[in-house]
Amino acid sequence: MAFRPRLMRTLLTAGIAASLAGLAATVAAAEAPVTRPWMNAALTPDQRADLLVKAMTQDEKFRLIRSEYGADFEGKHNKPAGSLGTAGFIPAMPRLGLPAIHETDAGQGVARPLLFGDGDTALPAGVAVAASFNPEVAFAGGAMIGREAHRMGFGVLLAGGVNLLRDPRNGRNFEYAGEDPLLAGTIVGAAIRGIQSEHVVSTVKHYAMNDLETDRNTLSANIDQTAARESDLLAFEIAIADGQPGSVMCSYNRINSVYACENDWLLNQVLKRDWKYPGFVMSDWGAVHSAAKSALAGLDQESAGERFDKEVYFDKPLREAVAKGEVPQSRIDDMVHRIVRSFFAVGAFEHPAKVATIDYAADAKVSQRAAEEGIVLLRNWQHFLPLGKDIGPVAVIGSHADVGVTTGGGSSGVKPRGGSPVTGVAPTAWPGPKVYQRSSPMQAIARRNGGKVAYASGDDIAAAAKLAAQSKVAIVFAEQWTAESFDVPTMDLPGNQDALIAAVAKANPHTIVVLQTNGPVKMTWLHKVDGVLEAWYPGANGGEAIARVLFGEVGPSGRLPMTWPKDESQLPRPTIPGAGLAAIGIPPQGQPQQDIDYNIEGADVGYRWFEKRHLEPLFAFGYGLSYTSFDYGKPVLESRDGEVSVRLRITNTGKREGVTVPQLYVAPPQGDTTKRLAGWQRVDLKPGESREVRIVADPVRLAHYDVTKHAWVRDAGRYRFELGHTSAATLMVDLSTELPAATCTLKACTPIAH
């Protein structure tokens, strides 16, 4: 939510019981005999929505175009009757057979910020799922959290974060899917499909350019329209086309001076006209600033306006605007149509959310697989890893790794099952509390090396170094906790962790660092340690996943979904004025009206920025080591029926099973010739196994966006393709082909006839 520093965790057992009673009534309403024509599942979602809109009164329509805050607020027992106690709630309309709508965050699981009950299953961070480069893992994770949401009574998951990583210091990078629009859109699209396969509406967010948290409620993200279409908006376009989310959440910030939720270009022109989006736009919590202007620009539903906006715009003010003829009645009907259509489309009427048993053990395994596939091995000096079971005494140091793994904070924070094993860590209030998932890396290591582990908290550096000196291997767990509503001012690991790692590495020549971070951090100690694993925020079974990778039960197979800069000097904006945890808590109205110039890098986000500026990162986009080795045969480029692909044979030449992720990049012949990711594949091979792989170049990556034609256009000319393990290490093979001019969609390019 926009501003909830005084929110208290006060949902009592009695409150939960009341919520469930309300839910039972809701479900009963949904199961009423099908006498209403819109309940006919043989009709299309649009036909059903038309019938329903016709049957609704104006009051019912107005009740549907705004949600209320569903939880207790400012320490009072004031949540709406019947609400389950989460971010958004719209009461049931029994006359029409409409169940109550309960909305909950977010992409890593059912986040119930105010509930401290048993908790739910946490997926690893979104960025970890992106690091798997595996849409199947994203789909499975989405389906898992969608199922849990459905079985707790939720009809909407506010999940589907796809803002691009333009800055490693953005406090919400962990909720998103990295810097590349094709990768991010594909992964998030798959997650949305997974969620909606469980009859829960998913909400792609935060639309758009909400790529920093500092001053997010007022900041104007300034960017040229073409650059926006080829970067952040492309990620949304791909995710929306693939996942078909029922809703899109417009963001807090302004874009080119106009608030996202009243931005005609963003909502009406791009989303609804160009992408033909049939679902509804809901606002972020506290992101609405007008009635008629927002309604006319394309906003369909105001979220929790009574708590977070200056007034509830989509009630009295909007009714007045309709009465005065400023907003046509047809626009109100369109809003309602879009909302109910989305629920019809996911089958929510046939399969209403209702409380049912959840198989938490099975769900934790889904989370664990995602964590295992997303962990990235960044350094493995002289192949020190994997560890053998006879490794001897291991020192586990730091980050409460004796009891749990790190998570991110803010609205997406999933309460650990069984409660956090560590409490009282600052910040204990919004956007905290800082909690840990109950999955101990230390115990998981102990289960593998005969229990020869000892723990040092790391608070006392000398004591940690002493323990390291007495051990065969020292594993330092380093963490960077970030959260919604603030950015970190630097890329430094917080506190004394750099000094701790340096001291431990000095004391023990076999030091491994396991990072649990929001994204890239500086590594002043990199060359002093034997190994570095990036585990992100690894979720419900994170400790087990980390241990399995460390001991080689599963090979490390994640790849970086972002470029890893050496330090802030390599970024488009070396500083973020006003960043830091201390900056939160300022009411939205009080935030300075800042501008941010995204035209500095435009569409050249991440690896494209590094290429253009001839910068060498610490690790390139797409980088990640394996415990085995691969031979890439000679790639062959094929251009047939308008489709360009590369074929090659890949062989596992090592002694262990492992995954390699060949990546195809393309550089256009003219205009902006920086290369971009055009496709990839995850290839899992047993020792000695060999397979022919074909990677198809995504048509839209061969094109540029033409704002005057409202179309993706491919210029005629010779396109250069590169194949490699990362965006930087490409194979030295000349792959290029002549292509005719064409117009392209996300699916295909059609040559332009002359």
Contact residues for ligand BGC, defined by CB under 6 A: 1-2, 87, 105-106, 158, 205, 284-285, 411, 484
Structure tokens at 662: 């060949």
* Residue 172 C-beta: closest distance to ligand BGC, Å: 8
**Segments in 123-280 forming alpha helices (H):** 126-131, 135-150, 181-196, 225-230, 232-243, 264
Q: Which is nearer to ligand BGC, 105 or 309 (CB)?
A: 105
Choice between 380 and 412, CB closer to ligand BGC: 412
Are the beta carbons of 353 and 102 closer than 8 angstroms? yes
CB of 251 to ligand BGC, least distance (A): 8
Alpha carbon 80 to its chain centroid, in Å, reads 29
Least Å from the CB of residue 584 to ligand BGC: 11
> How deeply is 305 buried, as exposed, middle or buried, from its count of CB atoms within 10 A (0-12, 13-18, 19+)?
buried
Nearer to ligand BGC by Cβ, of 87 and 385: the residue is 87
- Cβ proximity to ligand BGC: between 45 and 107 the closer is 107
Single out the residue of 477, 595, 473 nearest to residue 535, CA to CA: 477
* Residue 103 beta carbon to ligand BGC: minimum distance, rounded to whole angstroms: 8
Q: CA torsion angle for 504, 506, 511, 513 (degrees, to 10)?
A: 60
Q: How far is the CB of 148 from ligand BGC (least distance, A)?
A: 17
d(CA 99, CA 90): 9
Instruction: Write down the least CB distance from residue 1 to ligand BGC, Å.
Output: 4
Quote the least distance from Cβ 192 to ligand BGC, whole Å: 14
Residue 308, token pair as written in the block: 């977070």
Cβ atoms of residues 497 and 395 within 8 Å: no
Q: Is 499 helix (H, G, I), strand (E, B) or coil?
A: helix
CB of 349 to ligand BGC, least distance (A): 24
Q: Would you state the structure tokens that stand for residue 321, as one six-digit string?
A: 């605007």
Q: How many CA atoms lie within 13 A of 58 on its CB side?
A: 12
Cβ-based nearer residue to ligand BGC, 206 or 725: 206
Question: What is the nearest approach in angstroms of ligand BGC to the Cβ of residue 87?
Answer: 4
| d(C-alpha 499, C-alpha 521), whole Å | 14
Quote the CA–CA distance of 249 and 298 in Å, as a whole number: 12
Cβ nearer to ligand BGC, comparing 281 with 461:
281
Taking the complex as a whole, the smallest distance from the CB of residue 308 to ligand BGC amounts, in Å, to 8
CA dist 180 and 726 (Å) reads 13
DSSP structural state of residue 731: -
Q: How far is the CB of 110 from ligand BGC (least distance, A)?
A: 12
Site of tokens 């904006």: 573
Buried b (16+ CB within 10 A) or exposed e, 543-572: bbbbbbbbbbebbbbbbbbbbbbbbbebbb
Nearest to ligand BGC of 306, 359 (CB atom): 306
For 366, the token pair is 């889904």
Q: Which is nearer to ligand BGC, 285 or 564 (CB)?
A: 285
Closest CB to ligand BGC among 158 and 620? 158
Nearer to ligand BGC, 584 or 742 (CB): 584
State the minimum distance, in angstroms, from the CB of residue 186 to ligand BGC: 21
CA–CA distance, 83 with 22 (Å, rounded to integer): 7
Q: Which is nearer to ligand BGC, 328 or 590 (CB)?
A: 590
Report, in Å, the least distance between residue 158 CB and ligand BGC. 4
Cβ closer to ligand BGC: 237 or 484? 484
Sequence-distant (≥ 6) Cβ neighbours of residue 195 within 8 angstroms: 142, 143, 145, 146, 149, 157, 159, 160, 202
The residue behind tokens 């992101």 is 287
Q: Whose Cβ is closer to ligand BGC: residue 260's or residue 659's?
A: 260
Q: Identify which of residues 73 and 285 has a Cβ nearer to ligand BGC in the complex.
A: 285
What distances in angstroms separate CA 332 from CA 266, 291, 563, one per listed residue? Answer: 19, 12, 44
Please, what is the minimum distance in Å from the beta carbon of residue 202 to ligand BGC? 12
Q: Smallest gap, in angstroms, from Cβ of residue 579 to ligand BGC?
A: 17
Q: How far is the CB of 113 from ligand BGC (least distance, A)?
A: 7
Q: Quick one: 133 or 285, whose CB is closer to ligand BGC?
A: 285
Tokens, residue 330: 């047809």
Specify whether the CB–CB gap between 93 and 147 falls below 8 A.
Answer: no
Amino acid of residue 718:
R
User: Closest CB to ligand BGC among 589 and 670?
Assistant: 589
Q: How many helices (H) and strands (E) does the chain have?
A: 19, 33
User: In sequence order, what are the beta bridge partners of 666?
Assistant: 676, 721
Nearest to 684 by CA among 693, 675, 676: 693
Least Å distance, CB 217 to ligand BGC, is 10
CA–CA dist 308, 570 (Å, integer): 37
- Are residues 690 and 650 in contact, defined by beta-carbon separation less than 8 angstroms? yes
The token pair at 149 is 């949401």
* CB-count burial class (<10 Å; 0-12, 13-18, 19+) for 601: buried
The terminus-to-terminus CA distance of the chain in angstroms comes to 53
Instruction: State in angstroms the smallest separation of the CB of 106 from ligand BGC.
Output: 6
> What does the alpha-carbon distance between residue 192 and residue 200 come to, in Å, rounded to a whole number?
10
- Comparing CB distances to ligand BGC, the nearer of 126 and 662 is 126
Strand 531-534, strand 676-680: pairing:
unpaired
DSSP label of 274: I
**Is 120 or 484 the residue whose CB approaches ligand BGC more closely?**
484
DSSP letters, 554-598, are S------SS-B-SSGGGSSSS--TT-SGGGTT--GGGS---EEET
Distance separating alpha carbons of residues 641 and 117, to the nearest angstrom: 57
